[in-house]
Each structure stands twice: as structure tokens, then as C-alpha cells.
Structure 1
Amino acid sequence: VCDCTGHGVPGALVSIICNNALNQAVREHKLTDPGQLLTKVREIVSAEFEKSTEDVKDGMDIALCALEGNVLRYAGAINPLWIVRNGSSEIEEIKGSRQPIGKIDKPVEYPTHQVGLNEGDSLYIFSDGFADQFGGASGKKFKIPNLKKLILSLQNESIADQKKLAERAFEEWRGNLEQIDDVCMIGVRFRN
């Protein structure tokens, strides 16, 4: 899941640059490790932004996952990975690096986290669009604590039903207010 900053034509150009950088890191550099991929993508994006005559402050937040057997490898630039273990009533959060993909003064490599998965564990990666949506009785943002409560309340449902119920919760929260951002959330239940 990735989410580029910026709006209109400049935002679209940032999206194209970031998408091309991700493709280049995979196809040309043959990278498969999520942390190495994000580090290379940032190098490519930064080099592209350096070509601009303007100071580009936009970039991309992203969460990347790679599954090998029952081991999940994850790296994130801002965006976290949430895991709800089968039978648990808590969210295990693996935070993304605090550095987005883009021009950074003191870049550090993105770490790859490895997590063992068991039958029935649920994984969630998402953009900030759901949590940042205004709505409810007082027109406030939904926010991360409410998103966590929503995800936990859906754990006894199938992933397909979770999708429908999350969409309904979003629309009910939004009410008559305009949707302010794109919303992307991926939920997966692990099966051996």
C-alpha cells in the first residue's frame, strides 16, 4: 500500500515518479527484500527530485510485505503493519520508519522486520485516508484509535465481510461530508 503526497498535477507526477522507481527497483535491481527495496526506491526518487528546479517536498508513504512460507517480511515508510493474532483481542503493531520516500536530509536504510505467522492471523496495511476522514456527530477525524477498535470488532468476521463492514462504517462516519482523501486498506487472513 502506498500513498503519495501532493494534489492535482504535481501529486500525479509524484505518483508516476514513485511508481516508476518501485518498478525499477524490482525489475532492474532485482530487489525482493522490503527494506532494501524501500531504500533503493528512495534513492531513485531523490535523484529524480534533484533534477527539478523547484524544491520538491512531496513523497510517498508505503508499506511493503513479502511472504515466504509462514514468515512475513515487512518494511514501511511511515505506514505500519497491524497483526491480529488468531484468538487475540489486541493489535500487534510494527511501525514503519519515520522517514517517507522522498528527499531526506539524513537518510537511513529502511529495516526489514520478520514476523512468524500462524493459521488464522490477520494482517492489515493501509493509507491514512480512513483515519483522517472527517465525520461523526461533531465532524472530527476518525483517527487511529477508532480504526483499531473497528478492526478488532471485525475479527470474528470473514475478510470479505470485514471489507463490507469497514466500508459501511466509513460511509456512516463520513455522512454528508466530502471524502477528503483516497482510502486504501488491505486485510489478509493467513492460511497455511
Structure 2
Amino acid sequence: MASIEQLYSVLATASSDQQDPAQPALVVHAGQIAVDTPAVAAEMTNAELQNWFLEAPDVEAVAIVKENVPVALVNRNVFMEQYGRPFSREVFGKRSCISFANQKPLIVDANTPIEVVVRAAVEPESRVMKDGFICNRDGHYFGIGSGMALIRAMSDIEAAKTRQLLSSIEYASAIQQSNLRNSQAELTTCLPSARLEWLPRDVVGGDCYFFRATRNGLFGAIVDCTGHGVPGAFMTLITLSFLENRVATGSDEPDPAHVLSDLNRYIKKVLGQHASTKSGEEAHVVREGKSDDGLDAFMFVLTGNGLDLQYASARLEMAVLDGAASPAEATDVQILEGDRMGVGYSDTPDDFAFTTRSHTLQPGYRAFVTTDGVIDQVGGPKNIAHGRKRLYKLFAERRDELPQQFGDTLLDSFAQWQGDQHRRDDVCFFVFTNEV
């Protein structure tokens, strides 16, 4: 099975220097965009420089050198404008061409990285984008780079980085989904009428799920990790790797609380997220390590023909509608809550013991677990968060719908609520029943 080590390897390529052979070579040093434009000597007069420009109509800027060492840079348009003013020819015609030159141009070595040149070009009062810059090699004049060439080079570099990063993330998505694929197969076998939806906000996401058949039923977990995108995906693979090794078919059913407690210790160990309290005038918690990442989760074991539920929760909950003779008798949503403590965070005690609770489901029930992607989404006519109350109201109103149909109903309702608003988070929900 694909592992988190693969994801590290894949994403590392995004910052490597490997170049796609199908793409042209990138400009990475200043010398690659420097044009070998003839320089003029500092002794040249302004009158002579005017004639020089007239004989070289394509040259936008020229370097002024002393013994082949650049000392100034003259922009054609600036020179022509200033030299063309009344009395300029009479006053400055016989003077050195340095008179109208930029005597503090940007001068860089040919091996200077393009990024360094760009940083200098965007400094306040810099004239690089207008005049260009001078490039040296071994201390002597080499050529002139234009501001436009600098922009094109930087644009190509950023485009290449983006292509490489997106390619890596696409492959990372394949790795993440391969870790989820086994769960989908196990769920289909054990609960054929269940509906499982996983919608990452980005290509990869921080929500995940895990299902495995046990000796007498099914173990399931819905998990909401810190963050979304690539950081969230790393957390999901840490979690899924642990669950794959921890939950196995055996003579005993996995205890959801024990799994959560062990996962808490595992994440804190892997990420070094331990907190210690310093005493003094004011006691306070000092975090060890730079990260404070973790997850919320709902874990359960379903046995007894899908009616006996053992569950443990870290800040997520399950909504249940018990079966009844008519829909009117089953409008109240029962909420199965667990511990109000996250998993793996630095302020969660290492030895925190989550609690397993029991609940007997009634034939014809509907059960629903979701991460906070729907609940926290801003939208609707007032641009407010969706909230739990609105979500569970929809769940109760559509209690006659089987999980597959309710999943479609919820997605349609969520899309209408979101409207033109940006998706705030990953979305993952799970609906199931014992009916077929």
C-alpha cells in the first residue's frame, strides 16, 4: 500500500532542479539574458553618443566603460529627451556622455541568480525595469539585460515551478486516494446501502475515512485533520497508516476508545507535540516543538446485524434517526457525542483516555456523521455559516430517503447554500442504515 514516505518523496520533487525535457531550458542566471551590446568609452562626448544612437536604432541602452569596466548606463529615450532640450547641445555637446547617464546602474555578475536580480529591480527608485542592468564576467563588461527580458525569465521560472508543483500534487492525490480505496471496498461489502462522500477543497485534503470488516461486523472512522491541501494530506496519511496497522481482524472487536487513545499518543510522538507546565508567579503551558496539529474523529464498531453500536468520539458526533411507524414519529434527531478533546494536539494530555459508549439502533434507523466542512460553510442569503441546526433539520425532513438518495439531496442543498462563495474546507460525510 502507498505510504506517507511516498508522499514526502513526491512533494520533494516540486522543489528539485529537474527539468522537463519537453520544456525549453529555463533562464536561471543573469548572463543568460544579457545581450552583447557594444559599450562606449567614458571619453565619448554627448554629440558623438547622439550619432552613435542614430546609427544603432535598435539599441535601447548602452553601457559606458572605462578600460572595459562599466561605470554608467545610458537609456536612449532618456538621453534623446534631455539632449534635445533647448541649449543642451551647446552646453553639453562636448562634455562626456556620462552627463545624462545613470551613474549608479545595477551591475551584476553573469552567474547572479535571476531571483537576486529581480529583488534588486523592485527596490524603491530602481531604474532596472526601464533602463535594464549591466552584466559583468570576471569583472569586465559582458552585456546588458533588459527589464522586459528579466520579466519574461522570471515568469518562465514561476510557470515551471507551478507546473512541477501541480504535477507532484496530482500524484500525491493518487497516493492519498489509494489509501482510501480499500476502505471504500470494505464499506460496500459490509454496508451496501451506505453513502460515503469525500470532497477535498483542494486536490488533496485533510478529511479522511477508514473502514475495515471485523470478525463480527465493521469498524469505521470519519476523521477531520488539521488544515486542508498538502498539510492536511500529510496528517491523513499519518492517521491512515496508524489505523491500517492498529485495526485488524481478530477474535475481539477493536475498542474505538483504545484506538483513539493510541492514535493520540502516536501523533504526539511522531510530531513531537508535548506540552509541559512551567511553574512560577503565573503557571503556563510551554509547547515543545513547532507544530500543534491533530484531528477530530468519530470511530465506531457496528455489530449485531448493524444494530449494536460501540463508539468513541473526539469532538465529532453522530446524528441518529431511529426507525418508526411513520415519518412524523421520527423527526427528532438524536446526537451521539463523545469526548470534547482533540487527538494529538499539544494541549491534549499524552495519557488522555477516550471513552467507549454503547447505543442500540432501531431497525430502519438512519445514522449520519460529517466533518465540519458543511457546517462551517458560509453562504445562503445572509452569507452566514450553514450550522448544525439547518443540517440536522434537512436530515430529519428527508428521513424516508435511503442513504444514497439523501447524499444527493445534501450535495444539492450544500451547493445551493454555498452559491458563489469560496469553499472554506474539505467536506466528508457518511450516511448509513441497516435497510437495503
> Which residue identity lines up with residue 295 of structure 2 in the other structure?
M
8 Å CA contact 1:74, 1:81 repeated in 2? no
Query: Which digits, 9 at most, give the CA deviation of each residue in 1:51-105, with x for residues without a partner?
Result: 8984321111111121110211111111011111113111111113111111334
1:93 and 2:335 equivalent?
yes
Task: Establish whether residue 68 from structure 1 lines up as the match of residue 285 from structure 2.
Answer: no
Aligned match of 2:315 = 78
Report the equivalent of 1:182: 426
Identify if the C-alpha distance between structure 1 residues 145 and 18 changes in structure 2 by more than 3 Å, giving closer, same or farther.
Answer: same
Select 2:256's aligned residue among 20, 23, 34: 34
Q: 1:31 to 1:46 in 2, by over 3 A?
A: farther
Identity %: 25
Write the mapping of 1:46-57 to structure 2, written as runs, cut at 5 A: 46-50=268-272, 54-57=289-292
Query: Partners of 2:373 and 2:407 in 1: how far apart?
Result: 15
Partner of 1:168: 412
Q: 1:149 is paired with a residue of what secondary structure?
A: helix
Q: Separation in 2 of the partners of 1:92 and 1:171? A: 26
SS across alignment from 2:358: strand
Q: Which residue of structure 1 aligns with residue 265 of structure 2? A: 43
Q: Which moved more, 1:30-39 or 1:62-71?
A: 30-39
Say whether the 8 Å CA contact 2:228–2:426 is kept in structure 1: no
Structure 2 Cα separation of the partners of residues 61 and 51 of structure 1:
16
- More helix, by proportion: 2
Change (3 A) 1:182 1:147: same
Matched, 1:23 2:244: yes
How much has 1:8 moved relative to structure 2?
A: 4.1
Look up the match of 1:118.
362
Q: CA deviation at 1:10?
A: 3.0
Deviation at 1:156, TM superposition (A): 1.6
In structure 2, stretches of 5+ residues that fail to align are 1-221, 275-287, 325-329
Partners of 2:371 and 2:427 within 8 A in 1: yes
The normalised TM-score by structure 2 is 0.41
Determine helix, strand or coil for the equivalent of 2:247.
helix
**What's the counterpart of residue 227 of structure 2?**
6
Aligned length: 192
- Provide the aligned C-alpha RMSD in A: 2.3
8 A Cα contact 2:313 2:337, kept in partner: yes
Q: Which residue of 1 aligns with 2:119?
A: none
For 1:20, give the aligned amino acid: S
| Higher relative contact order (Cα pairs below 8 Å, separated by 6+ residues) | 1
Listed one character per residue, the Cα deviations across residues 87-133 of structure 1 (whole Å, up to 9, x for unaligned) are 31111111131111113343521111111122101111110000011
1:81–1:96 Cα contact (<8 Å) kept: no
SS, match of residue 231 in structure 2: helix
Q: 1:116 to 1:39 in 2, by over 3 A?
A: same
In structure 2, C-alpha distance between the alignment counterparts of 1:16 and 1:6, rounded to whole Å: 13
Residue 59 (1) aligns with residue 301 (2):
no
The CA distance in 2 between the partners of 1:73 and 1:177, in whole Å, is 38
Report the 3-state secondary structure (helix = DSSP H, G, I; strand = E; otherwise coil) of the residue aligned with 2:393: helix
Correspondence 1:124-163 to 2 at 5 A: 124-163=368-407
Q: Deviations over 1:138-175 (max 9, x none)?
A: 11110111111111111022222111111110000001
Secondary structure, counterpart of 1:190 in structure 2: coil
SS in 2 for 1:184: strand
| Larger-gyration structure (1/2) | 2
Query: 2-side partners of 1:51 and 1:60: how far apart?
Result: 13
- Give the TM-score taking structure 1 as reference length: 0.90
Q: What SS does the corresponding residue of 1:72 show, helix, strand or coil?
A: strand
2-structure distance, mates of 1:130, 1:43: 29
Q: Residues of 2 paired with 1:189 and 1:25: CA distance?
A: 26
